[in-house]
């Protein structure tokens, strides 16, 4: 054995001895480790796969941290409510996870939607009732769960509001819109003596009423006419029927009334703009608003389509129903109570004696139309 070979062999021996000294199990462990290696490699991509999952989980966790609020709109197919809904969605963004439901004008369906939202763990409810008398059933469901409820747009009775300490209302003072609409009628009637077409000093009017039993419809009908009478203008009601807040129904009624009364009608009063727009379409089809064939029409809401008609001179005026602020107040209150805070916490809203926030109306004519345009931007 030459020296070199001896050195190599002895070095190897030392190495083996050293290795086995350090780790007696090493020789047997080695293959196991080798087997484990590919497993570990396989595990690696799995771990990588887990990484994006964890990233995905992050925003979900953030969302889960936002309070969950259950909303219903009595029907999406309502011009004005579509603006309230938009305001709700804008104001809730980044602050609440909202469950939004179209109750399709069906109270039974809305009650089921409330059950579903409760089972999904909402922390508060914001309800635009289908039927204003439907509040008690919903209050009962909420009360069983200790859930706070904010009603909006369709005001429950004072009795229902008083039956549960954790319910509130966001809307308006309905009478105010009737008084303001009445004032527009008074001002324009006095400024245009030729609108009394038969010259009898009496205002012959037709009235398109909203949903019967809806506090806004009842109050607008009562106060618009009362304001005119109180201003010393004698009136005669030629027709009064419900157009259910709806444009198509408004047009159908106006078609029938025009066929029956023609120019004996001297003023068209509509509880909302959608019906006023329907009436205008009917009048246009009969040649009104061309030449000197004219008929005064007045609405409520001051929705963008109505503002266009005011500018064109086919709508005398409207009353701004502030969808933007009603949507905002609804979110503010529903969010606060979902978090267990005072409903008005951090807001400028105030509650009246029936726990209602009442967003003010504003009469709109060509003079101040910019205010309404700004509000519906």
Residues that bind Ca ion (CB under 5 A): 196, 198, 200, 202, 204
Among ligand BGC, Ca ion, none, residue 272 binds (CB under 5-8 Å by kind): ligand BGC
Q: Which residues lie near ligand BGC (CB under 6 A)?
A: 78, 80-81, 153-154, 216, 245, 272, 274, 300-301, 321
Shortest gap between Cβ of 257 and Ca ion (angstroms)?
16
CA distance 130 to 111: 10
The separation between CA 185 and the C-alpha centre of its own chain, rounded to angstroms, equals 30
Three-state secondary structure call for residue 314: coil
Pair of tokens at residue 349 = 């809203």
CA of 179: how far to CAs of 67, 183, 219, 226, 332, in Å?
39, 6, 9, 8, 28
CA distance 314 to 309: 5
Shortest gap between Cβ of 374 and Ca ion (angstroms)?
37
The DSSP output letter for 232 is: T
Shortest gap between Cβ of 271 and ligand BGC (angstroms)?
7
Among Ca ion, ligand BGC, none, residue 196 binds (CB under 5-8 Å by kind): Ca ion
Residue among 94 and 193 whose Cβ is closer to Ca ion: 193
Among Ca ion, ligand BGC, none, residue 200 binds (CB under 5-8 Å by kind): Ca ion
Identify which of 167, 196, 213 has the alpha carbon closest to the alpha carbon of residue 296. 196
Is 302:319 a contact under the CB 8 Å cutoff?
A: yes
Shortest gap between Cβ of 49 and ligand BGC (angstroms)?
50
Residue among 233 and 297 whose Cβ is closer to ligand BGC: 297
Is 339:151 a contact under the CB 8 Å cutoff?
A: no
CA distance 224 to 206: 12
CA distance 276 to 253: 11
Shortest gap between Cβ of 274 and ligand BGC (angstroms)?
6
Among ligand BGC, Ca ion, none, residue 267 binds (CB under 5-8 Å by kind): none
Residue among 217 and 225 whose Cβ is closer to ligand BGC: 217
Among ligand BGC, Ca ion, none, residue 321 binds (CB under 5-8 Å by kind): ligand BGC
Residue among 321 and 336 whose Cβ is closer to ligand BGC: 321
Shortest gap between Cβ of 245 and ligand BGC (angstroms)?
3
Strands 318-320 and 362-364: antiparallel
Residue among 217 and 265 whose Cβ is closer to ligand BGC: 217
Residue among 128 and 204 whose Cβ is closer to Ca ion: 204
Among ligand BGC, Ca ion, none, residue 202 binds (CB under 5-8 Å by kind): Ca ion
Among ligand BGC, Ca ion, none, residue 81 binds (CB under 5-8 Å by kind): ligand BGC
Residue among 80 and 151 whose Cβ is closer to ligand BGC: 80
Ramachandran area for residue 67 (φ above 0: left; ψ -120 to 50: alpha; else beta): beta
CA distance 69 to 100: 9
Contacts of 200 (CB under 8 A, 6+ apart): none
Shortest gap between Cβ of 134 and ligand BGC (angstroms)?
13
Q: How many residues does the chain have?
A: 377
């Amino acid at each position: 054995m030459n020296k070199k070979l001896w050195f190599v062999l002895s070095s190897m021996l030392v190495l083996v001895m050293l290795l086995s000294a350090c780790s007696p199990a090493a020789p047997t462990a080695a293959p196991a480790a080798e087997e484990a290696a590919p497993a570990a490699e396989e595990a690696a991509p799995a771990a990588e796969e887990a990484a994006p999952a964890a990233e995905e989980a992050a925003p979900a966790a953030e969302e889960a941290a936002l309070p969950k609020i259950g909303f219903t709109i009595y029907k999406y197919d309502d011009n004005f409510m579509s603006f309230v809904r938009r305001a709700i969605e804008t104001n809730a963004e980044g602050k609440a996870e909202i469950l939004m439901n179209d109750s399709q004008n069906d109270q039974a369906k809305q009650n089921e939607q409330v059950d579903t939202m409760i089972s999904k763990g909402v922390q508060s409810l914001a309800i635009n009732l289908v039927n204003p008398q439907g509040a008690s059933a919903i209050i009962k469901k909420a009360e069983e769960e200790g859930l706070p409820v904010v009603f909006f747009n369709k005001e429950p009775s004072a009795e229902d509001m008083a039956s549960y300490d954790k319910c509130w209302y966001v809307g308006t003072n309905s009478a105010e819109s009737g008084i303001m609409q009445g004032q527009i009628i008074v001002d324009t009637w006095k400024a245009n003596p030729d609108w009394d077409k038969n010259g009898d000093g009496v205002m012959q009017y037709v009235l398109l009423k909203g949903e019967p039993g809806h506090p806004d419809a009842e109050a607008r009908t009562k106060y618009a006419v009362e304001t005119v009478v109180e201003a010393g203008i004698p009136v005669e009601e030629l027709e009064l029927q419900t157009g259910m807040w709806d444009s198509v129904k408004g047009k159908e009624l106006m078609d029938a009334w025009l066929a029956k009364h023609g120019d004996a009608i001297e003023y068209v009063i509509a509880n909302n703009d959608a019906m006023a727009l329907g009436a205008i379409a009917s009048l246009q089809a009969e040649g009104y608003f061309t030449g000197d064939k004219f008929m005064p029409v007045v609405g409520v809401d001051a929705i963008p389509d109505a503002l266009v008609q005011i500018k064109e001179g086919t709508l005398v005026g409207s009353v701004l129903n502030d969808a933007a602020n009603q949507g905002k107040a609804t979110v503010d209150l529903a969010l606060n109570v979902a978090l267990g805070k005072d409903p008005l916490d951090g807001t400028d809203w105030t509650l009246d004696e029936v726990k209602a926030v009442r967003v003010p109306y504003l009469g709109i004519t060509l003079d101040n139309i910019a205010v309404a345009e700004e509000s519906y931007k």
